[in-house]
A and B are shown apart, each in its own frame.
Chain A
Amino acid sequence: MPRLCFTFVAALCATAISALADEPVTAWAAEAIAVDAAEELHVAVGTATLRCNPDWCTGGTNVSGAVAVLKVVSDPGSAQATTSAVPLSVSTGEFNVPYSGTGYLRFILSAEKEGAAIGSLVLGDVSFGIKSAFTASAAYDGRTNALQEIANAWGATTLRYDFLWGENATSATVSRICVRHAKNGDLIDVTTNQLNSVDSPPMLGEVPHSMQNLPWGEYRLLLREFTADGSLAFEQLSPEYSLPHVFGTYMIIR
């Protein structure tokens, strides 16, 4: 009987030890991933039709056989971010991709040759139907040379831009697009007012930009750059911004 009891106790202990499982457990992912920790910041996006060209990727310019690959990141900046390829996203030359997204999206343009990445990434942020946030101060992002809008909502100021991105561009236009009236919130036909046009470099330009007589609404700014023969070299659309009934509010759109 004592032996039986000892066996029972030993069995209990053995059961306990195997069930406690206090040892670390290591598990590996089934699939390897590609990572790139180096930061690359550029901006180049189109309007509702995305325009892409492998030449826009620095280092990918004039590489015979280079193709452009366009991907879109949904909900960037959050843990729910997902990256997916845009349909018809590979081309050996400049191409247009119809795209009507929702929310805040980030686009990644890369150039590849024979499956290997070449050059640097081109990234662009676009918001569809999201108002940009207001801020107490205005700023200019010189790193990205992105289209910047620095506007006193009720005073004249300037819009600064740089058409670094347009290869061989010799002229540019800046337009303001009224996306919708704020009066009733309904979409209306898009109206575009050209603010200014600039001929020939220097690349950095400034456009007087008064918003004093505009109605409430949501607006976007569009920069287009053209080559000498008049063909479009580059275009960039800002996120939406609101024109509110608040005196002295400054805003920035990145």
Chain B
Amino acid sequence: MKRLLAIAFSSMALAGFADAFTVTDVSARQRWPWNGLVDVDFTIAGASVADLFKVEVEAAYDGGTKKLYARTYLEEPLRGPGFNRITWDLAADYPELKVDDLQVAVTVTPLSRASLDAQNVYMVIDLSSGPNSTRYPVRYTTTAPTLVPTNDLVACAADPNRTTKLWLKRVKANTFPFGGTNSNSGEGDFKVSLSPYYIGVFELTQKQWALVMDTWPSVFSNDIYRAARPVSNINNDEIIGHNNWPENRVMADGSYVAKMRARTGLATFSLPTEAQWECASRAGSAVTTQISKSTGRCADYVSTSGVNTYNEGPEVGTALVGSYNANAWGLYDMFGNVMEMCLDAHDTVDNLKTLYGWNAETREPIQDPIGPGVNATARYHATRGGSYGNSAGFCASHRRDYNSRSETGTKRASIGFRVAVSPEWN
């Protein structure tokens, strides 16, 4: 009987399609009468961040007797939960069409999680409408961003994929060893399992901060390059607005995360937890990954001619994002550039094991840990990945650090962050 039950449960898990969902609030509008673009708005409700949908548009006119099928879209027709817009190039498909009673429909088909796991999936948030905008459009694609190479520094600093567009990559469900040491390859301090989530392809840049917050807080402010350098010199108050995660999961009005949530509709947009950061850093490797050597400074290992390698002179400091090699999952600058702040607080391994109920005998992975909040033993926010100024030993996936100034809200020129969109927290 146990076997039968096990088969039943595993069948459910393997099926791996989206939860029950609905499609509501469909409306259509021709964008401009002279170019034939039709915006179709709709909402997908009841789905998880882990889900993705293929969208098709059809239409009918003459009382429904004549049918049209969209073949040309402005963007890849993939969409996620929440408010969505897909733009149909009507003029490309039906160049002479002129009717007064066009009924438009969308058909939304969930993609299996297995198929999503088998390919690269990106979420792209368009910030170009700036700090006064009420909505940043979100789209999805299976094509990686095309990047301006960092050997053309001025062009790289204006690269829209580093400035006006915020790219996140989907990370499939994963089990990995958390923490540990260089020598305990494959073991870690304990095991963690994560549900699918999205994490920034780059560290958040100064332009991507300014387009939301309308401020340029970073110390490294040379205005020729600053747009594509990572934002830093910001504190937790500005990022999430309070120091009370995870008890308070509503980010305070006016904070970066609160504004992004309101303008994207992504209710779990935030920073990665420490576990999510480490999973992304390991990129599927059980053995800790690290910058190539264990001597010198992180910034000695910039892979390309980033503007601000750690040399003497006025340009000491951060490099343009993407100056350090991408890891196996295509995530840049996981080691070096700025130290990356995480959502949760830093605590000792023993305290984390107690908090999560780690069983040393069964070694069952801990599912989706969201970390401790700031408390008597976990006083500071966790940071990961090392910065331009750290020794290379900081630049390793297992290495756990913290921002010792986070308690007071003091800022550091060497600490920034990357963003994440998590599954719904329980």
Contact = CB atoms under 8 A, between A and B. Distances in A.
Interface string B1-12: 100110011011
B99 A34 contact: yes
A26 B95 contact: no
Given A12-B8, A25-B107, A37-B90, A80 B129 contact: yes
A20 B21 CA distance: 9
Interface stretch (A38-46, A149-157, A210-218): A38-46
Interface stretch (B27-35, B141-149, B156-164, B396-404): B27-35
A131 B362 CA distance: 68
A9 B5 contact: yes
Contacts of B87: 79
Contact of A79 (B24, B34, B42, B137): B137
B27 A21 contact: no
A25 B30 CA distance: 23
A224 interface: no
B312 interface: no
Interface stretch (B108-116, B225-233, B316-324): B108-116
Contact of B110 (A21, A73, A121): A21
A49 to B, nearest CB: 24
A81 B32 contact: yes
Contacts of B19: 19-21
Contacts of A16: 11-12, 15
A5 B90 contact: no
- Determine the interface band of chain B, counting residues with CB < 8 A from chain A: 35 or more
Contact of B34 (A12, A21, A41): A41
A2 interface: yes
Contact of A28 (B20, B26, B36): B26
A83 B37 CA distance: 14
A21 B18 CA distance: 7
Contacts of B20: 18-21
Nearest to B58: A26
B98 interface: yes
Interface in B387-419: none
B27 A30 contact: yes
A2 B109 contact: no
B103 A5 contact: no
Interface residues of A, number: 40
A108 B21 CA distance: 40
B91 interface: yes
A24 B109 contact: yes
A97 B23 CA distance: 42
A106 B27 CA distance: 23
B28 A33 contact: yes
A108 B31 CA distance: 13
Contacts of B108: 24-27
Nearest to A27: B23
A27 to B, nearest CB: 4
B100 interface: yes
Given A18-B20, A24-B108, A121-B34, A38 B95 contact: yes
B102 A34 contact: yes
Contact of B112 (A18, A22, A24, A34): A22
B39 interface: yes
Contacts of A78: 129
Interface string B37-66: 011101000000000000000000100000
Interface of A: 2, 5, 9, 12-13, 16, 18-22, 24-41, 73, 76, 78-81, 83, 106, 108, 121, 123
